[in-house]
Amino acid sequence: MSAERWHDTNSADLIGTRAERAQLFEHLVAATLRRQAISPAKNRIFDIDVTRDMGRHRDALLDAATPAELWYALNLLSNTRRDRHLQVEAVPGGIMPPADIEARKIRNYGALDTNGAPRLDIELATDFGGDRPRLFLAGMAPGLALPAGLEVGAFLTAVDGLPFADYVARIEPYHCYSTPTFFWYHLPHHIVRQGSELPAHSKQLRLSFETASGPVEIRLPYRDPQSFIPPKPTRYAGWSCLGEWESCRLHLAPGAAVIALEWLGFGPTLCADVDALMALCIAQNLLGHGLIFDASISRGGDYGGYLLRVLAKARFQINLGDLRRCDAIPGIIDEVLAEDDEALASGRLNQGQVAATGWRKRWLLEAVLPSLPEGGSTPAVPFKCAHQPMDGDGWLEPAETHFTGPMVMLTMPFGGSHIDQVAAQIADNRMCIAHIGMPLGGFSKTWVGTEILRLPSGQPIAAFQWSCGNTIRPNGEVLESNPAMPDRPYPVMRDNFTTHHAEMLDQACALLLGRD
């Protein structure tokens, strides 16, 4: 879609009339009430009330005069669910954000240096050490001239003339997240970039900081994103990297019988990577070493039970999952089975994954689909039938070859989804002697249902999503907005943000070596 069409006020063919948008609003509220899976923790944290929360943005939807305004109104409505997995997506023939908007979308916090959004020549970070999070100046481009007295560590107090709390209140509804900690952890990345989540940006930003000599204001222009690529923090300085795969890296501590499994994600090479990891550990006699499971920068994915079986020393309980019986389920079933058929045809699945496709198909078609008229949620079964059929007992045995030394887990609010699921299983089964750091992002579901929103004419608008099932932790709690909490909290702060990861490693080593 061209920029002219994006802002065209003569777009009734694409955005409908005010009356049609009012009907659309009522449909979205009703659909959310019957489709969205319910998380007690989320309801408690955010005081969720679907009708009230969506109602706050009713006028934005009804008053939309351009495709751009309707697009952002739909995003505001979507974000009221406080669910990181849900987003508004473009569909053929519907509202298509211009190429420059798409290029500025932050999709991967692990690859911010490849994002196309213009950015400021500074870095901000969040201090979690007080009674409320605060942002501070964490770095700057080489050669950037700052006013006298403004140094790294100065707290941010205002943005574009707005007190910082008021600024956050204005932009927060445009952000998609499942826990406040995740929002605050990543907020600095969004402030210094002209991302696509906000409907408008100025060419520069005014930032006010608190310094020893009083408030200082700077004006910075947004520049080409490649003009300043902050250096990535050094991780595992002094440690030896013994192996690296797509899923993980293995490090050996200097002068100590401690290894760290730096987990990166659960992609298609997971099983092969775990097999290679274990072969290396057998060859180098590492299985009995103290183990740090470092999930601080992990992405999501699936099939984490394959990893958990080599981390476990005893039989362990796995996550369960359910689906809310509603009108979105037939579409979910069609999509899941089509994805499984494609994966089977690709030949990339191992024996266990092939079995899972059969278990999943049986559950969805024989148990879920016929029971839809009953309403409510389905009984919880082993999560997505990935490791057991629907009548499995929800317990897995350790792999024949597994780690035998004590384990410490490290987490941060960098990511979530499947790593949230794995961390919850580790914590709830007490697989680790300590859990250090901050909670993960706290977003987890079974499957998402998608509907293409249309005008009465049949004209497509966009795709809107609902999380239609919950992940049930081994402790019996819903995981969404309820991540495993460290028993040794160690927040990142202004005074430790450059050394925080190394300090977590030091704490873990002390515990594993009996020095704590």
Please write down the HEC assignment for all residues of 127-142: ECCCCCCEEEEEEECC
Q: What is the residue range of 282's domain? A: 240-320+392-446+470-513
List helix spans (H) across 192-325: 270-283, 305-311
The residue out of 189, 221, 253 marking a domain boundary is 221
Query: How many percent of the chain have pLDDT more than 90?
Result: 88
**Residue in the structure block whose two tokens are 């200082």:** 216
CA-to-CA distance for 22 and 352, rounded, in angstroms? 48
pLDDT given at position 160: 95
pLDDT given at position 104: 83
DSSP 406: -
pLDDT given at position 508: 98
pLDDT given at position 158: 97
Question: Does one domain contain both 441 and 452?
Answer: no
The residue out of 190, 221, 252 marking a domain boundary is 221
Mean of the per-residue pLDDT values for the chain? Answer: 95
Taking residues 50-60, report their average pLDDT.
97
Structural domain count, the chain: 4
Please indicate, yes or no, if residue 109 is contained in any of the structural domains. Answer: no
- State pLDDT tens for residues 122-165: 999 999 999 999 999 999 999 999 998 899 999 999 999 999 99
Question: Does one domain contain both 300 and 195?
Answer: no
Question: Does one domain contain both 272 and 334?
Answer: no
The residue out of 194, 221, 248 marking a domain boundary is 221
Question: Does one domain contain both 374 and 311?
Answer: no
Give the SS3 label for residue 367.
helix
Largest CA distance in the chain: 71
- State pLDDT tens for residues 66-91: 999 999 999 999 999 999 999 999 99
Please indicate, yes or no, if residue 387 is contained in any of the structural domains. Answer: no
pLDDT given at position 438: 98
Residue 481 pLDDT > 90, yes or no?
yes
pLDDT given at position 103: 83
Question: Does one domain contain both 399 and 345?
Answer: no
pLDDT given at position 269: 94
Q: Which of 100, 53, 106, 72 is nearest to 198 (CA)?
A: 72
Please indicate, yes or no, if residue 79 is contained in any of the structural domains. Answer: yes
Residue 515 pLDDT > 90, yes or no?
no
φ and ψ at residue 429, rounded to 5 degrees: -90, 5
pLDDT given at position 172: 97
Question: Does one domain contain both 187 and 259?
Answer: no
Residue 340 pLDDT > 80, yes or no?
yes
CA-to-CA distance for 490 and 507, rounded, in angstroms? 10
Residue 27 vs residues 21, 43, 382, 464: alpha-carbon distances, Å: 10, 22, 33, 11
Q: For residue 108, name the pLDDT band (cuts at 50, 70, 90).
A: confident
Residue 240 vs residues 231, 249, 257, 258, 514: alpha-carbon distances, Å: 21, 10, 12, 11, 22
pLDDT given at position 115: 74
Question: Does one domain contain both 343 and 266?
Answer: no
CA-to-CA distance for 460 and 260, rounded, in angstroms? 49
Taking residues 331-339, report their average pLDDT.
96
Question: Does one domain contain both 410 and 492?
Answer: yes
Residue 110 pLDDT > 80, yes or no?
no
Q: Would you say 322 and 377 are in contact if contact means Cβ atoms under 8 Å apart?
A: yes
pLDDT given at position 84: 95
Domain at 184, CATH number: 2.30.42.10
Please indicate, yes or no, if residue 508 is contained in any of the structural domains. Answer: yes
**What are the structure tokens assigned to 319, written together?**
């996550």
CA-to-CA distance for 79 and 481, rounded, in angstroms? 14
Question: Does one domain contain both 290 and 438?
Answer: yes
pLDDT given at position 1: 83
- State pLDDT tens for residues 427-479: 999 999 999 999 999 999 999 999 999 999 999 999 999 999 999 999 999 99
Question: Does one domain contain both 406 and 284?
Answer: yes
Please indicate, yes or no, if residue 227 is contained in any of the structural domains. Answer: no
Question: Does one domain contain both 440 and 361?
Answer: no
Q: What is the pTM (predicted TM-score) of this model?
A: 0.94
Taking residues 40-46, report their average pLDDT.
97
CA-to-CA distance for 507 and 436, rounded, in angstroms? 8
**What are the structure tokens assigned to 356, written together?**
């899972």
**What are the structure tokens assigned to 470, written together?**
């919950």
Question: Does one domain contain both 53 and 142?
Answer: no
pLDDT given at position 331: 96
pLDDT given at position 202: 86
Q: Would you say 367 and 407 are in contact if contact means Cβ atoms under 8 Å apart?
A: no
